[in-house]
A and B are shown apart, each in its own frame.
Chain A
Amino acid sequence: MRRRVSELVNQDASLISRRCWSDAAVYELEKRGIFAKSWLFLGHESQIRSPGDFVQAYMCETPIILSRGQNGSLYANINSCSHRGLPVCRADHGNTKRFVCPYHNWSYTVEGDLVTIPQESEVLHKPDKSQLGLKRVPRLESWRGMIFGSFNEQIIPLEDYLGDMRFYLDAFFNRFPAGIEFMGAPQRWVINANWKLPVENQLGDVNHGAFLHSAIIPREAQDIIEKLGYSVVTTPGHGATFRLMPEGGPVDDVAWGMEAVGSIFGGDDVQNYLREIQARAAERVGDVRARMKGLTYGIYPNLSFLWSNTSFKVSHPRGPGKVEYWSWAVVPADAPDPIKRILRTNYSSFFGPAGILEQEDSEVWSQQFLGSNIDFADDRPYYYGLGVGEEVPHADFPGLVSVTANEFYARNFFTRWRDELQAVEDDL
């Protein structure tokens, strides 16, 4: 790399170098400084309910098998055989007793232990199989069913890492009597973009909505966001945006899910179901959070939650200029199946690889990468200065709070990003 990390992001992170998005050396630092050190989202417990259940996941570019062992505990292992490195699991999800490498049929339990080396009977010195299991992800913790792994053995507990974001996540999770569940395999697609832009977009950038998406999102929706919207940063890198609906307003204005197209077309059953959830929301999450109508959430480094269209998403890097974006539809766990099938379209109609809005996001994320990768513009870093210093504490909401046009969510992300890269830049 031609320059120091301190030259990429200025002191208050109001200027962000184009090289942050496009430089291969920066990406190597991100792997070491961020993806090797953070809690990374792997999956939800609803995807692996029974012993032997598994799903695939990634930690940056490292392929992971997330599974439930025969004893009911969670396991995460790198999907690579100890013998010649092939993936031992090819299915997206399923239930199994063994993962078998195709090459020489070394086989592993669902917990990742090596149990069979077909060739060992022919040699005198038997390998120590207890040392040859799949490489285990050293830290694995789950909160509200959300499973995270970390390669950093010294990392702080997950609940501390999430910190005050739990207050905002619980506004959603605890709204439902039995919590939430993920529906099916993730939709996963490739975008020629840097991984951080989808993250930034979902961390707090609701201000592009009525502009980029103006063919679909009416100006009035933006007016409501400007009037009732909050942007919050709990810890640098974590953030939330939401609308706080007025007290005593109509239930249909505040109830989760009512504003999305699946519910609008879905008929009385689904609408009444959503009203009933809202009717008891204050009991479950308190008066203030019952009036919260979320927009976007971000959990550092690459997990996002889109409340309004109800999906969790992970931006998996595939080099500086490529993302494999994963997203899951999320529904209340105890909803009847027909209602779940309607609610998933609140996500898929507008988001995902066919989403009428998401296709516009994918387009601009790709184009931002082109702009970040051009020559002779390095003296023109991107302007991140909207609203510098205008965020303040709030009586009801933990963290620092501001209007949604304040780009402090992104500045906080990049100060943390800069500090974490600086900590490893001399290791290479």
Chain B
Amino acid sequence: MSNVSLEVTPQQQRELERFYFHEARLLDNRQYLQWLALLSEDVRYLIPSRVNVPVDNRLRGQETMISVERELEGEDSMGCPLREENYLLLMLRAQRAYKINSWSEHPPARTRRMVGNIELMARQGDTLSVLTNFHLYYARPGNENVIYSGQRRDTLLSLAEGFRIARREVVLDYANIDLPTLGLFF
């Protein structure tokens, strides 16, 4: 992937924006079943672990010395990512929200997310690579209010019925996991 986003028309950018704003509203409105319909059935939903690694002396003076990628233990690593989920697991999480005995969601969290910095990084046929950033405000009785921050690295399919998420990797900006849960849909 090039480091510079593709040139897109205002119309193309607007279509992406419209999709992501719709998705954000579904999630904040707790309409998770409608959100599931935005996923392709072979979706991969990933959150790498983020670790503190030693400086590599050989990389000094170079940008790669402190690259974000060095901190991530993702699906190809032999570490332990935070989440590696498929459609069925996401569906389990979504359906759980509507059960009367899902105790950690009752009462449910009040969330509000801002999604921005929408960049189309690559396109191959109907497959798009899109980066977005988010801030997510989270308030739940019994917890301190917190803000989640992160980047989403998506693979979208552009289909006749609209965009579908085929893969999402969420890079969370945490140092210590002092957060109520990482089990949200980011």
Residue numbers in A under 8 Å from B88 (CB-CB):
265
Tell me, yes or no, whether A103 is within 8 Å of chain B by CB.
no
* B residues 59-101 touching A (CB-CB < 8 Å): 73, 75, 77-86, 88-89, 92-93, 96, 99, 101
Known contacts A185-B49, A356-B96: A348-B178 contact under CB 8 Å: no
Cβ-closest chain A residue relative to B83: A354
Binds A, one of B15-23, B50-58, B119-127: B50-58
Residue numbers in A under 8 Å from B78 (CB-CB):
183-184, 337, 340-341
- Do the beta carbons of B54 and A261 come within 8 Å of each other? no
Tell me, yes or no, whether A353 is within 8 Å of chain B by CB.
yes
Q: Pick from A92, A187, A359, A363: contact of B80, CB below 8 A.
A: A187
Q: Pick from B80, B102, B103, B142: contact of A347, CB below 8 A.
A: B80
Known contacts A345-B84, A349-B85, A362-B104: A185-B176 contact under CB 8 Å: no
Report the bound CA distance from A17 to B177 in whole Å: 30
> Interface residue count for B (Cβ, 8 Å)?
38
Report the bound CA distance from A363 to B52 in whole Å: 27
Tell me, yes or no, whether A146 is within 8 Å of chain B by CB.
no
- Do the beta carbons of B79 and A356 come within 8 Å of each other? no
Cβ-closest chain A residue relative to B102: A215
Tell me, yes or no, whether A94 is within 8 Å of chain B by CB.
yes
Tell me, yes or no, whether B183 is within 8 Å of chain A by CB.
yes
Tell me, yes or no, whether A355 is within 8 Å of chain B by CB.
yes
Residue numbers in A under 8 Å from B77 (CB-CB):
184
Q: Pick from A92, A188, A347: contact of B53, CB below 8 A.
A: A92
**Interface footprint category on A:** 35 or more
Tell me, yes or no, whether B182 is within 8 Å of chain A by CB.
yes
Residue numbers in A under 8 Å from B84 (CB-CB):
344-345, 348-349
Known contacts A265-B88, A349-B85, A359-B183: A216-B96 contact under CB 8 Å: yes
A330-351 interface bits toward B, Cβ cutoff 8 Å, 1 = contact, 0 = none: 0000000100110011011100
Residue numbers in A under 8 Å from B79 (CB-CB):
183-185
- Do the beta carbons of A96 and B85 come within 8 Å of each other? no
- Do the beta carbons of B81 and A348 come within 8 Å of each other? yes
Residue numbers in A under 8 Å from B177 (CB-CB):
187-190, 353
- Do the beta carbons of B92 and A356 come within 8 Å of each other? yes
**Chain B contact residues, CB within 8 Å of chain A:** 47, 49, 51-54, 73, 75, 77-86, 88-89, 92-93, 96, 99, 101-104, 142-143, 176-183
